[in-house]
Amino acid sequence: MTVHFAHILEKLGGIAERLRQGGMPDVVYQWTKGISEEELTELEERLQIPLPASLSELIKRCGSLHLLWCLPQHCIVADEPACSYESSNGLKQKPNILDDITGEFGWNHEYISYFTSYGENTDSAADEQRYLILNYNGAGDPILLDRATSATEPAVFCYEHELDRFMLLAESLPTYIETMLALHGLWLWDWSNVSDELGIQLDSPRLQLWQRWLNTFCTMKLEDAARSLETLIHYTTMHGVDHPAVLQAFQAYDPKDIFLAWEQRIQRNPAQFATWAFFIGETAGIGAADWVRSLWEPDTDITQAWNSSASNNIHAERAFVSTRAYLSARCLPEQEGLENVYNDLMQHTAKDGKLEGYTVSGQLQHFHLPQVIDWMRDKVNHPVDGWAVLFAYSRPTAEQVIEWLFSSELHQKIATEALDIMIQRDLLPGLEADVWASISNLLHASLQLVMLKKDKRRIEAVLEQLSDLKLR
């Protein structure tokens, strides 16, 4: 075993454990034992070449390896200290942010073969045997060894199929692996900003940012961060608010102060408005009420900043409307928030006066209120999917479920699909035995009346799931 790879499994195992302990969700780390000399010989005979020394040593040590992780939801990888947003002349500067990243690294001896899908660039048999596939990234792009660069230590490239280009990652396989180790398996969907003629450059500003950020992510503890609002905010931008302990930590601070702290970040970086808004909704609540009310006023500064920062204004407008509805559900008194969204939806009906289910659901499902079901009762139409999602997330009462199953065919379809969603997503409330019986009887009655096979299958699936639940 060469010195390059002697401790690679130990290092990668340590990286995976460090990420898990630091709070990275869904870390996957899998590997298989190395291939035998006989298997290596068979592989080389099939390729009709000896493998590069580093590659053969690697797969004899470990035949395949897969490291995968994802950042916490709503996480922002950015330079955090407030002072970094002010230049020496007092002008505000955009924060340094790293986007479009995931954790993805590995190799697989079963993938090792020639890459020949570059069409017009294939001029000879030598070209057809130029690139050896090491692995594939999540987009299906192959990670390649370019034998034209060296027979013994070929350079590592990624073929980006959407751009039809070969991106140099490292001048050799050992260098590539050491680089990935340093980055903890980071994968960028565009390496061009952090690489040069020698491949990925660890000292590039963006990758330096990543390494600083990741070190803080893995070492900052919630109990320490919670000692001040500013550090708690910093911790939350890294780890999100999915863990109840994070939300509990915010209870020690005034909701208005929490909102003001988030508002500063909106002003620095309005392009991340949706993420800041989510954090405000989850942590500040009523402390942001006046600000949320201002979002319902026409041509507010934040609306203009949101639209100007987006390349697609139609998409930006829809995203803003959805985010505003979410904030109204989280930060305004219940009835006030509902009325704002109701009125806005009715002002933007389709030309035929109808509402589209997914549009309505996208704005009202955040409220989780049964009264939403009463409001939408005379407004539903086909297709039913969006309406069913809204029904499911509005926490229907048993009486509402029964009422809709006893109503028109359209209402029955929506309620049935909503039941399926509630079962799948664990949203179904506890029901008494007589309620179970009523719902089951109504579903059986619907089953006898519907004509389409897909409708029958949906009802049968819900009945089967309800039966399983009653037996538990």
Please report the DSSP string for 91-153 in residue order.
-B----B--SEEEEEEEEGGG-SB----GGG--SHHHHTSEEEEEE-TTSPEEEEETTT-SSS
Question: Quick one: average pLDDT of 7-11?
Answer: 88
pLDDT over 60 at 218, yes or no: yes
pLDDT over 80 at 350, yes or no: no
Distances in whole angstroms, Cα of residue 415 to Cα of each of 392, 421, 423, 460 = 8, 10, 12, 14
Cβ–Cβ < 8 Å for 331, 278: no
Window from 94-108, 115-129, 144-158, 198-212 with minimum mean pLDDT: 115-129
d(CA 92, CA 85): 6
Query: Residue 268: its pLDDT value, please?
Result: 86
What the block records as the tokens of 91 is 């002008």
Please report the DSSP string for 337-376 in residue order.
HHHHHHHHHHHT--TTSPPPHHHHHHHHTTT--THHHHHH
Please report the DSSP string for 199-216 in residue order.
EE-TTSHHHHHHHHHHHH
Query: Residue 435: its pLDDT value, please?
Result: 84
Tokens 């396989």 identify what position? Answer: 173
Distances in whole angstroms, Cα of residue 144 to Cα of each of 62, 175, 197, 255, 391 = 18, 14, 16, 52, 49
Residue with more model confidence, 133 or 440: 133
- First CA to last CA distance, the chain: 54
Query: Residue 86: its pLDDT value, please?
Result: 41
Window from 75-84, 418-427, 444-453 with minimum mean pLDDT: 75-84
Query: Residue 261: its pLDDT value, please?
Result: 97
pTM confidence score: 0.85
* Mean residue pLDDT across the chain: 89
Percent of the chain with pLDDT over 70: 90
E strands in 147-283 = 155-160, 165-170, 186-188, 195-196, 199-200
pLDDT over 80 at 64, yes or no: yes
pLDDT in tens, 379-434: 999 999 999 999 999 999 999 999 999 999 999 999 999 999 999 998 988 777 78
Confidence of residue 300 (pLDDT cuts 50, 70, 90): low
Tokens 């199953």 identify what position? Answer: 405
Query: Residue 429: its pLDDT value, please?
Result: 80
